[in-house]
A = this chain, B = another copy of it.
Amino acid sequence: MNMEGLWYKECSQGRRFIIKITPGENLTTRLLQFAHLADVRYAMIVSALGSVKNVKLRGIKTGAKLPITTPRITIHEIEGPLELLGLQGNIVPGEDDLLDCHFHIMMSKSSGEVVGGHLYDAQVFATCEIVLTELSVEGVERHVSKMGGIPTLYIDEGGA
């Protein structure tokens, strides 16, 4: 269904998984491998905590216009370790029907200050505990938005 400025689609909840990723592992690589192994095509993170190190993330430059292009972003590499305070995101098929993930991360520094952004890469430090829910839905795909400059969800108009 769509209304002006908003698209939505009802989905049903599929399987739910408790996941633990061990020290030194790459967070996004392992989650995508898990999705392939468990045959999960649509999923979202419901809960995530632990600690991470060697994080690479993206911010958007203040005053930037659309579309989001390389000169309009900032890239940060943070060695850490940091407490992992949250991970929001979803796994949805992208171009060529390949699984693709979109995660935003929040972490605290030694000082208690919280940093975060669009996640490229992070390694697990001491542990990482995730609860992930599979979504059963059709007609949702991730494609690059020319207007936005970034891959985002597209929801078709048919069906539920």
| Nearest CB of B to A91, in Å | 11
A108 touches B113 (CB 8 A): no
How many residues on chain A are close to B (CB under 8 Å)? 95
Most chain B C-beta atoms within 10 Å of own C-beta, residue among A61, A74, A86: A86
Q: What are the 6 A-B residue pairs with the smallest beta carbon separation, nearest first?
A: A126-B148, A5-B25, A127-B152, A114-B114, A112-B115, A49-B104
- Option from B48, B61, B140 in Cβ contact (under 8 Å) with A88: B48
A114 touches B109 (CB 8 A): no
| Nearest CB of B to A85, in Å | 5
B18 touches A140 (CB 8 A): yes
CA distance A76 to B30 in the complex (A): 32
Within 8 A of B (CB), among A115-160: 115-118, 125-127, 129, 131, 133, 135, 137, 140, 145, 147-150, 152-155
